[in-house]
Amino acid sequence: MTSDSPRPPPRRRFFGAWGRRELQGLFWQVLVVGIVLGVVVFLWSNTVTNLTARRITTGFAFLGREAGMPIADSLLAYNPRDTYLWAFVVGIANTLRVAVIGIVLATILGTLIGISRLSANWLLSRLAAVYVETLRDIPLLLQLLFWYVLMQALPAARAAWRPVEGVFLSNRGLILPAIPVGSPQLWVIGTAVLGLAVFYLIRRWLIAQQMRDGRPRAAWPFAVGLILALPATVSVVLGVSWTIEWPQLRGFNFVGGLTLAPEYFALLIALVTYTSAFIAEIVRSGIQSVPRGQWDAANALGLRRSFLLRQIILPQALRVIVPPMTSQYLNLTKNSSLAVAIGYQDVVSIANTTLNQTGQAIEAIALIMAVFLTISLGISFFMNWYNARIALVER
């Protein structure tokens, strides 16, 4: 058979313009959707039968009932006589309290360690490498249990460790001096946030001006004025007091100050150290992805070190860093659900208690999933927005 033999006539088409491919596609889709629907209907009908047999009514009506479960450590005021709905809200607040603070601390620690791994100091880079390798290769749950055991093994409140004056570490947790925040203080903080927002807009305008004529304009006077001086003035005018409350040992426990319960503290340490090992690797690869020539070129131009880092290296490194960093933030948030293993009452732990008390398994798990899906979508939405802002614009 030669290569230039005449082509066979095209296959006759059924269904007008429709070809075999479209028919096949339709067949597969109908098949897969049919199977999935069949499985869902099967599971659904079983569930309905089982629920009727066990006399469990479905629906979220139970959320209005009295919860009766104690919540030891909560950000929001809670009383066992509150409703299940409020218990869930308290749990969500507890989850967010771990996640937000954990993300901030893990980012700082991870960045420091990632930079240390690149240090010319052999000892520092080796130590950072050992830190990363060890923490990455041991399950988080094991690390969490380990920290929790260590917390419990700390001395009692009377014999608490005092690394710094006013800071106590004991089996009651970590107690720090704190400034009590009431509504007058909130006004000042609110002013500072407003100042920050205004400063952001002014800075954008300044950069736009610079884009037009190329002359750099200093933004720092606005920063000092709006973020420092304005709130300070408000504070003085309103006469807000910023006295630090020092914790005191009274009897068997501490009074005053800020208490981080052992469960919360252990969870925070475990999440921060574990996630920081992953963040360190992301930061390292991000910095290494900037070609060496960029450093050399900037040095040859005699640019200041801070300018070089801020304006040349960091923007390029961030493009590599931001997408995997998003997944680490999501992981940290999801991993905070391990709290259930040591009895810190996050949303998963509270949903689990609810489930055991009321038998409303489907609703409780649906609530957990809804909460985490919302948080995940929120974080990835924000990070995608940020990523789009810093992404390389090519032609």
Partner 1 sequence: MTAITDIPDAPRAARRPQVGNPVLRWLRTNLFSSIPNGILSVVLLAVLAKGILSFVQWGIANAVWLTPASDSSACRAVRGIGACWAIIPEKYRFILFGTYPFDEQWRPALSVVLFIALFYFSTRRALWRRELAYLWIGALALISVLMWGGVFGLSFVSQDRWGGLPVTLILATFGLAFGFPLGILVALGRRSKLPAIRSLSVLYVELIRGVPLVSLLFMASVMFPLFMPSGFNIDKLLRAQIAIILFAGAYLAEVIRGGLQAVPRGQYEAADALGLSYWRKHRLIVLPQAIRHVIPPLVNTFIAFFKDTSLVLIIGIFDLLTTAKTAIIDPAWQQFSVEVYIFVAAIYFMFCFAMSRYSRSLEAHSAVR
The reply to whether 384 sits near partner 1 by the rule CB under 8 A is no
CA angle 86, 90, 93 (to 5 degrees): 140
Residue 151, H or E segment? helix 140-152
Minimum distance of partner 1 from residue 79's CB (angstroms): 26
61, 150, 244, 258: residue in contact with partner 1 (rule CB under 8 A): 150
Please state, in angstroms and rounded to a whole number, the distance separating the CA atoms of residues 132 and 19.
56
Least distance to partner 1, CB of residue 296, Å: 8
315-319's contacts with Cβ under 8 Å and 24+ in sequence apart are 315/390, 316/289, 316/290, 317/283, 317/286, 317/287, 317/289, 317/290, 318/286, 318/390, 319/286, 319/390, 319/391, 319/392
173-176 vs 253-255, strand pairing mode: unpaired
Shortest gap between Cβ of 372 and partner 1 (angstroms)? 5
| Binds partner 1 (CB under 8 A): choice among 241, 253, 299, 384 | 299
- Interface with partner 1 includes 124 (CB under 8 A)? yes
Residue 164 CB: number of other CB atoms within 10 A?
Answer: 8
**DSSP tag of 171:** T
Residue 256 or 359: the one with the smaller Cβ distance to partner 1 is 359
Closest approach, Cβ 374 to partner 1, in A, equals 9
Question: Could you tell me which residues come within 8 angstroms of residue 373 by beta carbon, excluding any fewer than 6 positions away?
Answer: none
Binding mask 319-358 for partner 1 (x = CB under 8 A): ---------------xx-xx-xx------x---x--x---
Neighbours of 156 (CB within 10 A): 10
Min separation Cβ 366 and partner 1, Å: 10
| Contact indicator for 93, 375 with CB cutoff of 8 Å | no
Radius of gyration of the chain (CA): 29
Among 320, 376, 383, 387, binds partner 1 (CB under 8 A): 376
Task: Kindly indicate which of the ranges 131-139, 172-180, 184-192, 202-210 contains the residues binding partner 1, using the contact rule CB under 8 A.
Answer: 131-139
Site for partner 1 contains 134 (CB under 8 A): yes
Smallest gap from Cβ 236 to partner 1, in A, equals 34
Phi and psi at 18, nearest 5°, equal -75, 135
Site string for partner 1, 20-49 (x = CB under 8 A): -----x--xx--xx--x------x--xx-x
- Return the residue of 149, 179, 228, 244 that touches partner 1, per CB under 8 A: 149
Q: Which stretch binds partner 1 (CB under 8 A): 65-73, 108-116, 171-179, 232-240?
A: 108-116
Measured CA to CA in angstroms, residue 8 lies from 5, 21, 48, 256 at distances of 9, 19, 58, 90
Q: Residue from 64, 139, 190, 378 that binds partner 1 (CB under 8 A)? A: 139
Is residue 307 part of the contact set for partner 1 (CB under 8 A)? no
Nearest approach in angstroms of CB 308 to partner 1 is 9
Tell me which DSSP letter residue 4 carries.
T
| Side chain identity, residue 281 | E
Closer to partner 1 by Cβ: residue 138 or 232: 138
Q: Which is nearer to partner 1, 212 or 305 (CB)?
A: 305
Cβ-based neighbours of 143, under 8 Å, separated by 6 or more: 135, 270, 273, 274
- Residues of the shown chain interacting with partner 1 in the complex, contacts defined by CB under 8 A: 25, 28-29, 32-33, 36, 43, 46-47, 49-51, 53, 112, 115-116, 118-124, 127, 133-134, 136-143, 145-146, 149-150, 153, 287, 295-296, 299, 305, 309, 334-335, 337-338, 340-341, 348, 352, 355, 361-362, 365, 368-369, 372-373, 376-377
